[in-house]
Amino acid sequence: MSKRLKIALFVIIGVLFADQFIKIYIKTHFALGEEHVFFSWFKIHFTENPGMAFGLEFGGFLGKLALSVFRIGAAAFGIYYLRQIIIKKYHVGYIAAIAFIFAGAVGNILDSMFYGIFFNESYGEPSHFFPVEGGYAGFLHGKVVDMFYFPLVEGHFPSWFPIWGGEEFMFFRPIFNLADASISTGVIIILLFQKRFFIENKIAESPNEEPVSQAEIK
């Protein structure tokens, strides 16, 4: 097993295990809407959404089904793409970043695929795993579990501020999960180090071209 494959598997398995462990714990120990405050800027707030990352929603029953099918297709492409960049020996940092994105996507796909079957609703009390009365939804219609809430800055826009003058302001408002954070981590890594990743990849794929100096890479 190559070093690049080991890194990809380590990231994917680690993220998926941690993400699902946290979600199942929250689902079975928190009622929907329950909140635990650790600091003013760090809260655990249990919420669910039927749509996209960071609490965004998408188009009702058919929209949810379409989104779930799209996610599965994207995950299948992710497996293919990861395999290709490992075979072509892309930069290990780039492979790790793609693995973070892939793992995050799969983490939320698992919620959509199975949580409606495995759990009952969380209204008023924590959910039960494999409830006698059955789950709250069918295959591909589960809701994504979110819990991390970081209201770092709260206040109001100045009265002179265009459009939102005088309205409440909060950063960071969305409630998210570890899978969302994993996707964001992968994207940020690529944005920060794309020059190094892609220049070194070009060198690896074109060994007969004139070499690029380390100064140029930096």
Question: Catalytic amino acids?
Answer: 146, 180
The neighbour count for residue 215, using CB atoms within 10 Å, is 6
Q: Which residues of 109-122 are buried (b: 16+ CB within 10 A; e: fewer)?
A: bbbbbebbbbbbbb
CA distance 52 to 30: 22
**Could you tell me the end-to-end alpha-carbon distance of the chain, in angstroms, rounded to an integer?**
30
Rounded Cα distance between 145 and 147, Å, is 7
Give the span between the Cα atoms of 55 and 48, in whole angstroms.
8
